[in-house]
Amino acid sequence: MVKKKVGDVSQDERIGWVHQGSALSVSKQCELAGIPRSSWYYTPRGESEENLLYMRLIDEQYLKTPFYGAPRMCWVLRQQGYKVNEKRISRLMRLMGIEAIYPKKNLSKPESGHKIYPYLLRGVKVERPDHVWSTDITYIRMMRGFLYLCAVVDWGSRYVLSWRLSNTIDTDFCILTLQDALNRGPQPEIFNTDQGSQFTSPRFTKVLEDRQIRISMDGKGRALDNVFIERLWRDVKYEHVFLHEYQNGSDLYKGLAQYFRFRNTERPNETLGYKIPWDVYRNKQLDVP
């Protein structure tokens, strides 16, 4: 039998060895798995109650003033009597996945290895359902913690085609939400996103390219390029999330399921001439005054 050195095997093989050799010492198991021994004892910590409070306040203020960056957010919290510094607020905003909306330099500079597609919707009139879909991610608070919400919405009817919750902002989470929408049957002519790394990922764009769906991306820092889903986030939070104090992700999921069902099939939409999104979407007609 030929013995392999630790450096000659894959990470999967190493982890397999650890699972099969539970009698090994902690040091040996860490060596085989290729991780520091200190990681063995590390338990990830959530945000403190204080930081969760600041995130709730930032979230509410951001809906009112999405052009506020960390300095102004810091000023707002200080005006309310909280002793915060800009460094902390900046970190929490990054954790929440939000940034101030304003034109920035080097807008066309893509993230390393990611392609940025042009914005295709300037001056385009959305004439029917399934003409344009879009997606985005937002922070959703709970009583003790938070999750992220991703949704796909049809521009013409304002119908929410799919949505998912996750405890991390990752590409897989966004791909699954996209696939949920596409698995319904119809597909859009154009799919619009922002320039977030999840949406510029080749794995995400490949799903669209394989179906020959044209990809459109907002200019960085231009919220109005994706205005319909920004309005969706505002409505979700003011009409539902801020009215409840969900204890856990399971309760939040049930509550959002009820809200999206109500929004899609019962709530009249003012911009649709007080029509119901599902009625407009299923009839595939967009006759709005």
Domain membership of residue 274 as a residue range: 132-283
Signed CA dihedral, 86, 138, 135, 175: sign only:
positive
| Residue 118 located in a structural domain | no
Phi, psi (deg, nearest 5) at residue 187: -140, 160
Do 182 and 161 lie in a common domain?
yes
CATH code of residue 268: 3.30.420.10
Q: Is the pLDDT of residue 155 over 80?
A: yes
Do 35 and 172 lie in a common domain?
no
As a whole number, the mean pLDDT across the chain is: 83
For the chain, the maximum distance between any two Cα atoms, rounded to a whole number of angstroms, is 79
In whole angstroms, give the CA distance from residue 158 to residue 264.
Answer: 8
Query: In the sheet that 132-142 helps form, which strands lie side by side, from edge to edge?
Result: 160-166, 145-154, 132-142, 190-193, 214-217
* Count: domains in the chain: 3
| Residue 256 located in a structural domain | yes
pLDDT digits (tens, 9 = 90+) for 165-210: 999 999 999 999 999 999 998 999 999 999 989 999 999 999 999 9
Do 86 and 35 lie in a common domain?
no
| Residue 169 located in a structural domain | yes
| Residue 145 located in a structural domain | yes
In whole angstroms, give the CA distance from residue 236 to residue 260.
Answer: 8
pLDDT digits (tens, 9 = 90+) for 205-264: 999 999 999 999 987 545 555 688 889 999 999 999 999 989 999 999 999 999 999 999
Burial class (CB in 10 A: 0-12, 13-18, 19+), 224: exposed
User: For residue 19, what is the enclosing H or E element?
Assistant: helix 11-20
Q: β-pairing, 190-193 with 214-217?
A: parallel
Do 74 and 161 lie in a common domain?
no
